């Protein structure tokens, strides 16, 4: 990164030309800093850009425009963990754009008030709201009751205000501390909701809106209002499954999940086209809730800044490239100052409210002021339930308008006082909670998003603390909801500051990564997971006081470290050390990321009674048909009804998992249509989907000596287990498929160079395939093939006869082809489809027994080594047999043709004892044949003609 330029180099091709991108600013904030005593990260070299510099370049522009009355918008875009929230909100002393801008906004307000001209009656008002868009549903983060509304809050279109969120609470604030308190409140509500509702926080958009209102008299003595709306948007993580390879799935991730990001990109592109002078371009604001709410910010009535946060890690190259390409090159657009006359706005509100009251009195609504409304009596063919629902919406809208009118009657000071009174009570509760945390054992939450960690506190007071869901007979002391949470989930007892926990079986509780089946004492910093989603750390002040050095020696638990121990206790190697390669560490990272998703998918399957189990497996390169490469993390989906198995790669599984979340959310919300038909069910895979039964590796070394391969080889699956046997023959032949004459055989592979070769490949049959396989076929591709070859599919038997033959020919043997024959393998893939037959008493014990498949994944290589050794032995055996046959021919020739006289038995023994290679023997045979022919013709040969040199 340098000034306005960012260069990206492909780690897979370091010699390639780097991709270059131009921006207004390019900041490097990854390393090159030093930490001051107060915790602030300041530059240690010229490359590092600190938070103060970023605010100076970006935040100050927003602040200045807000004072001028312009709308302002700040987007933060990029993959999860790339630093979006750090840039916008910051951490500790490294405050981001938002807190610094708010602090300076109130500093300037204080300064203005101190120096105000009383005759101008200046007044400054600041309001804050906070909402979240997840799966195209809007939730008010400052009003937890909004999470209970089916479908979320509604977006309405107002004649003067434009798009707005109905019933969204907006709170007046008088300082940045008030704003920060509201943001923390919203973050806490967001954490609880995302945990209970299975909504992944990194896949939700968060919008903090600050309304800055300046009131006063203009130079003509008129009362004027200058309003600036500041939207601070933390977009969802930009990881899109469709961009990372889940293209082979019959189902695509729900449009609602990615709709907002896609729509935002389309709007920005359309705006750029308009700015470039293109005519007739429609701006698709209505395609998503996000773009509707940000229409003013995007449409030119705003100063808009977009931050694209990227990761420097080479493993994130694809997503980094996607982020850099997404960053728009939108044209500069003229900003229009928003000045709204206060009295005109009030008159508009009164007129709308009065109209609605009159219409309500008439028992229905007609078409008024250009708005299409509903009659009191349903029209023909109209559903009465829909009419009733629309009536309720109308009543709610009327109530909201009345509330707005009542709020307008109150002065700014009255509204602020009401909010402050309620806020003081909350602050007192928060202060008391902080004091209690110092002396009372408690649990604090861990979340994949660091901003949501530590937001939820559950105290363990002396006596018994019951844990359960809201479906319990009585309200539990610790109320949890969501995946795998039972009405009575567990009991925590605190007796004389000795805290223990006991599960209410079959409830799922993990302590330090291990399943809990009986009562256990808890200690400071123990990690506890309830169900499949609620992850906590236990804090025990008295336990800590006994060993104060423990806190200094041990790092505080994190979400990643807690997940690592869960993965390790599932049978995977998570040890660290210098002996671990980069691929090993990457594999561990992928396991940590995937394990929570797999646990949640299993929990959703259980609650929805889908009889599907998911298990992580490691697929070795050899099991993929490769001689080398990285081990891949995949997920086995097993149908417990018929024992069918499907191996999904990581991207396909995540694609399905997000669809499962949508289905589960509909189930939780009581939607009658949550259980969709099989073709749309993310838990279902058609039995006709082709699955890889296993692979067969055939070492081709024998062919470099033109020695045939005749093998009955094991079909090895991803676990390293044998799934049957495959009969394969590869025979050197003529172009017509006939056997080669013996004189064409070679003793040194290099003799094949520049020759033509032909091989007949025969796949006769397979034996002992798994009983679940209904139809099977084989597929392979040689070095000489441009596309794969395949056998015919055989159905209805575990012992299919493929009766396949093909000839592979090369007009000339090159160095590469010879190296392929000497060192590589031919991989034959056995594919099949499965039976759709229910199995009685089918269960998941098979997958449980295979939990340690990670350690068995190399078993496939052991099978390959055995096969390779057998083929090498077979090759040597055939070479020796061929040599013995040649020697026997020589001896027979010498014995029968002694009349030639130049070669006798004594000379032959000298040749053999001298250690000449087999090529020399072949030369002897050739020379003897030549001498014999000459003798028959009556000619005399010289000794030179028979020389071995």
Q: What per-residue confidence (pLDDT) applies to 384? A: 61
Q: Would 98 be classed as within a structural domain?
A: yes
What confidence tens digit (pLDDT) does each residue in 265-280 have?
888 788 878 877 888 8
Residue 513: per-residue pLDDT: 94
pLDDT at 241 over 60: no
The CATH number for 282's domain is 3.40.850.10
Residue 58 has pLDDT above 80, yes or no: yes
pLDDT reported for residue 410: 59
Q: Is residue 209 part of a domain?
A: yes
* CA–CA separation, 699 and 717 (whole Å): 18
Give the C-alpha separation, 328 to 90, whole Å.
24
Domain membership flag for residue 817: yes
Average pLDDT in the chain: 78
Segment among 24-33, 127-136, 607-616, 654-663 with least mean pLDDT: 24-33
Strands 123-134 and 205-217: antiparallel
Check whether residue 666 and residue 710 sit in a common domain. no
Per the CB < 8 A criterion, the answer to whether 155 and 131 are in contact is no
Q: What is the CATH number of the domain that holds 831?
A: 2.60.40
- Confidence bin at 400 (pLDDT 50/70/90): low
* Domain contains 904: no
Give the per-residue pLDDT at 826.
93
- pLDDT tens for 710-733 read 888 999 998 888 999 999 999 999
- Binding residues, by number, are 78-85
Residue 810: pLDDT over 60: yes
pLDDT on residue 344 = 38
User: What domain range includes position 502?
Assistant: 442-566
557 and 666 in a single domain? The answer is no
Q: What is the pLDDT of residue 350?
A: 53
3 state DSSP class of 187 = helix
Is 20 contained in some domain? yes
Query: pLDDT band for position 948 (50/70/90)?
Result: very low
3-class DSSP state for residue 333?
coil
**pLDDT range class, residue 348, cuts 50, 70, 90:** very low
Question: Is residue 332 over pLDDT 60?
Answer: no
Q: Does residue 864 belong to any structural domain of this protein?
A: no
Q: Is the peptide bond before 593 cis (omega within 30 degrees of 0)?
A: no
Residue 257, domain member (yes or no): yes
Q: How confident is the model at residue 888 (pLDDT cuts 50, 70, 90)?
A: low
Residue 576 has pLDDT above 50, yes or no: yes
What's CA 695's distance to the chain center, in Å? 28
The mean-pLDDT minimum among 29-43, 418-432, 566-580, 648-662 falls in 418-432
Query: Taking residues 292-298, what's their average pLDDT?
Result: 82
Question: pLDDT higher for 496 or 902?
Answer: 496
Structure tokens at 538: 């236990």
Q: Is residue 658 part of a domain?
A: yes
The Cα 89–Cα 34 span in angstroms is 20
Q: What is the CATH number of the domain that holds 520?
A: 2.60.200.20
Distance spanning both ends of the chain, measured CA to CA: 68
Torsion of CA 709, 711, 717, 718, to 10 degrees: -40
Query: Mean pLDDT throughout 601-605?
Result: 93
What's the pLDDT at 942?
Answer: 44
Q: Which of 838, 870, 892 is the last residue of a domain?
A: 838
Is 852's pLDDT higher than 50? Answer: no
* Chosen domain end from 812, 838, 864: 838
User: For residues 342 and 115, which has the higher predicted lDDT (pLDDT)?
Assistant: 115
Instruction: Note the pLDDT of residue 932.
Output: 57
Mark the binding-site residues for ATP, compressed into ranges.
78-85
Distance (Å, whole) CA 148 – CA 145: 6
Judge whether residue 848 has pLDDT over 60.
no
Longest dimension (CA), the chain: 139
> Could you tell me which residues are beta bridge partners of residue 306?
75
Residues sharing a CB contact under 8 Å with residue 850, sequence separation 6 or more, in sequence order: 615, 617, 719, 856
Mean pLDDT of 53-63: 87
**DSSP tag of 679:** G
Does 183 share its domain with 156? yes
CA distance 24 to 308: 12
With 70 as the cut, is the pLDDT of residue 821 above it? yes
* Whether residue 450 sits in one domain with residue 560: yes
Q: How far apart are CA 902 and CA 849, in angstroms?
A: 74
Does residue 329 have a pLDDT over 80?
no
Token pair 């490691």 is at which residue? 618
Q: Answer whether residue 705 shows pLDDT above 90.
A: no
Say whether both 111 and 223 belong to one domain: yes
The residue among 755, 807, 804, 814 whose CA lies nearest residue 785 is 807
Is the Cβ–Cβ distance between 254 and 662 less than 8 Å? yes
Using the CB atoms, write b or e for 57-80: b if 16+ within 10 Å.
ebbebbbebbeebbbbbbbbbbbb
Tell me the average pLDDT across 153-160. Answer: 83
Contact 310, 29 (CB under 8 A): no
Do 670 and 730 lie in one domain? The reply is no
In this structure, of 191-200, 236-245, 363-372, 891-900, the range with the lowest mean pLDDT score is 363-372
Query: Do residues 656 and 775 both lie within one domain?
Result: no
Total of domains in the chain: 4
The predicted pLDDT at position 376 comes to: 39
Per the model's pLDDT, the better-predicted residue between 683 and 909 turns out to be 683
Residues 70 and 107 in one domain: yes
What would the mean pLDDT of 560-566 be, rounded to a whole number?
A: 94
Return d(Cα 239, Cα 251) in angstroms, integer: 18
Residues 94/52, Cβ–Cβ less than 8 Å: no
pLDDT of residue 875: 62
In the prediction, which pLDDT does 547 show?
79
Average pLDDT in the 733-755 region? 87
Q: Which residue has the higher pLDDT, 167 or 820?
A: 820
Can you tell me the distance from the alpha carbon of 341 to that of 244, in angstroms, rounded to the nearest whole number? 51
The tens digit of pLDDT for each residue in 654-683 reads: 889 988 988 888 888 777 888 888 888 999
User: What is the model's pLDDT at position 725?
Assistant: 93
The answer on pLDDT for 841 being more than 60 is no
Q: H/E element holding 691?
A: strand 691-699
Do 114 and 202 reside in the same domain of the chain?
A: yes
Asked if 77 contacts 45 with a C-beta cutoff of 8 angstroms, the reply is: no
Handedness of CA 382, 385, 390, 391 (dihedral sign): positive
As a whole-number percent, the residues of the chain with pLDDT over 70 amount to 75
Q: Do the Cβ atoms of 310 and 320 come closer than 8 Å?
A: yes
Mean pLDDT of 521-525: 94
Of the given ranges (297-311, 472-486, 680-694, 718-732), which has the lowest mean pLDDT?
297-311
Calpha distance 552→550 (Å, rounded): 5
Q: Are residues 562 and 616 both part of a single domain? A: no
Same domain, yes or no: 58 and 207:
yes
Q: Nearest-5° angle of CA 638, CA 639, CA 645?
A: 45
Question: What average pLDDT does this structure show over 533-540?
Answer: 94
d(CA 588, CA 567): 9
Domain boundary among 815, 838, 861: 838
Least confident piece of the model among 440-444, 691-695, 699-703? 699-703
On the question of pLDDT at 944 being above 80, the answer is no
Same domain assignment for residues 173 and 271: yes
pLDDT of residue 389: 63
Buried b (16+ CB within 10 A) or exposed e, 228-240: bbbbbbbbbbbbb
Residue 616 has pLDDT above 90, yes or no: yes
């Amino acid at each position: 990164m340098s000034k306005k330029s960012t260069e990206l180099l492909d780690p897979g091709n370091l010699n390639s030309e780097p991709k270059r991108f131009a921006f207004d600013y390019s900041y490097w904030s990854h390393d090159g800093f030093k930490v001051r005593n107060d915790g602030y990260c300041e530059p240690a070299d010229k490359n590092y850009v600190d938070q103060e510099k970023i605010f100076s370049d970006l935040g100050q522009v927003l602040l200045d425009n807000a004072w001028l009355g312009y709308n302002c918008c700040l987007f933060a875009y990029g993959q999860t963990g790339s630093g979006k929230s750090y840039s916008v909100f910051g951490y500790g002393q490294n405050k981001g754009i938002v807190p610094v801008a708010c602090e300076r906004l109130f500093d300037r307000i204080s300064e203005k008030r101190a120096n105000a001209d009383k005759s101008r009656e200046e007044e400054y008002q600041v309001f804050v709201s906070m909402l979240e868009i997840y799966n195209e549903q809007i939730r008010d983060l400052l009003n937890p009751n909004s999470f209970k509304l089916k479908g979320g809050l509604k977006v309405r279109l107002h004649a003067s205000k434009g798009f707005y969120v109905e019933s969204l609470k907006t709170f007046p604030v008088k300082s940045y501390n008030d704003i920060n308190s509201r943001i923390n409140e919203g973050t806490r509500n967001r954490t609880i909701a995302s945990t209970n509702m299975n909504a992944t926080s990194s896949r939700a958009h968060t919008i903090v809106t600050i309304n800055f209102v300046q009131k006063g008299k203009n130079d003509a003595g008129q009362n004027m209002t200058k309003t600036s709306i500041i939207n601070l948007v933390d977009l969802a993580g930009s990881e899109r499954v469709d961009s990372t390879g889940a293209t082979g799935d019959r189902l695509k991730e729900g449009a609602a999940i990615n709709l907002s990001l896609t729509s935002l990109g389309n709007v920005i592109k359309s705006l750029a086209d308009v700015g470039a002078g293109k005519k007739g371009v429609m701006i698709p604001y209505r395609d998503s809730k996000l773009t509707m709410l940000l229409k003013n910010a995007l449409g030119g009535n705003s100063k808009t800044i977009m931050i694209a946060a990227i990761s420097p890690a080479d493993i994130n190259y694809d997503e980094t490239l996607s982020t850099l390409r997404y960053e728009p090159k939108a044209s500069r657009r003229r900003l229009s100052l928003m000045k709204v006359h206060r009295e005109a706005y009030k008159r508009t509100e009164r007129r709308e409210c009065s109209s609605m009251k009159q219409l309500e009195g008439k028992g229905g609504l007609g078409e008024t002021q250009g708005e299409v409304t509903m009659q009191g009596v349903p029209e023909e063919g109209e559903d009465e339930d829909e009419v009733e629902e629309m009536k309720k919406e109308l009543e709610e809208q009327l109530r909201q308008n009345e509330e707005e009118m009542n709020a307008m009657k109150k002065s700014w000071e009255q509204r602020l006082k009401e909010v402050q009174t309620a806020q003081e009570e909350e602050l007192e509760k928060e202060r008391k909670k902080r004091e209690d945390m110092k002396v009372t054992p408690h649990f604090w939450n861990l979340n994949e998003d660091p901003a949501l960690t530590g937001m939820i506190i559950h105290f363990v007071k002396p006596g018994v603390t019951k844990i359960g869901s809201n479906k319990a007979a009585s309200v539990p002391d610790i109320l949890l909801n969501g995946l795998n949470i039972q009405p009575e989930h567990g009991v925590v007892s605190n007796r004389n500051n000795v805290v223990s926990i006991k599960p209410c079986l079959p409830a799922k509780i993990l302590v330090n990564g291990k399943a809990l089946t009986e009562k256990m004492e808890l200690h400071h910093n123990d990690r506890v997971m309830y169900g499949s989603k609620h992850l906590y750390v236990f804090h025990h002040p008295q336990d800590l006081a006994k060993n104060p050095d423990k806190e200094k020696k041990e790092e505080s638990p994190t979400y990643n470290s807690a997940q690592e121990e869960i993965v390790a206790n599932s049978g995977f190697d998570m040890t660290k050390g210098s002996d671990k390669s980069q691929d090993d560490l990457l594999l561990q990272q992928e396991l940590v990321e995937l394990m929570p998703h797999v646990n949640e998918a299993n929990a959703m399957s259980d609650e929805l009674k889908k009889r599907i189990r998911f298990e992580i497996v490691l697929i070795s390169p050899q099991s993929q048909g490769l001689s080398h490469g990285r081990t891949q993390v995949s997920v086995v989906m097993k149908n417990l009804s018929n024992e069918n198995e499907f191996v999904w790669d990581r991207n396909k599984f995540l694609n399905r998992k997000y669809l499962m979340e949508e289905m589960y959310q509909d189930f939780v919300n009581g939607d009658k249509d949550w259980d969709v038909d099989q073709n749309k069910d993310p838990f279902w895979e058609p039995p006709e989907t082709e699955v890889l039964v296993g692979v067969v590796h055939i070492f081709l070394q024998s062919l470099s000596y033109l020695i045939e391969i005749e093998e009955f080889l094991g079909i090895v699956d991803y676990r390293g287990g044998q799934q049957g046997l495959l009969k394969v023959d590869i025979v050197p032949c003529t172009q017509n498929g006939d056997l080669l004459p013996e004189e064409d055989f070679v003793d040194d592979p290099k003799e094949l160079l520049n020759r033509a070769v032909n091989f007949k490949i025969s796949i006769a049959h397979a034996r002992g395939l798994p009983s679940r396989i209904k139809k099977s076929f084989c597929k392979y591709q040689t070095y000489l093939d441009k596309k794969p070859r395949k056998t015919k599919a055989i159905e209805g038997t575990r012992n299919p006869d493929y009766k396949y033959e093909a000839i592979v020919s090369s007009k000339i043997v090159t160095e590469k082809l010879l190296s392929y024959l000497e060192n590589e393998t031919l991989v034959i893939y056995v594919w099949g489809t499965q039976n759709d037959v229910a199995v009685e008493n089918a269960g998941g014990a098979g997958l449980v027994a295979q939990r340690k498949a990670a350690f068995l994944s190399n078993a496939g290589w052991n099978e390959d080594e055995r096969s390779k050794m057998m083929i090498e032995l077979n090759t040597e055996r055939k070479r020796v047999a061929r040599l013995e046959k040649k020697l026997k021919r020589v001896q027979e020739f010498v014995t029968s043709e002694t009349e030639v006289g130049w070669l006798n038995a004594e000379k032959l023994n000298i040749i053999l004892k001298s250690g000449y290679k087999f090529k020399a023997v072949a030369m002897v045979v050739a020379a003897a044949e030549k001498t014999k022919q000459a003798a028959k013709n009556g000619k005399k040969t010289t000794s030179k003609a028979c020389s071995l040199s």
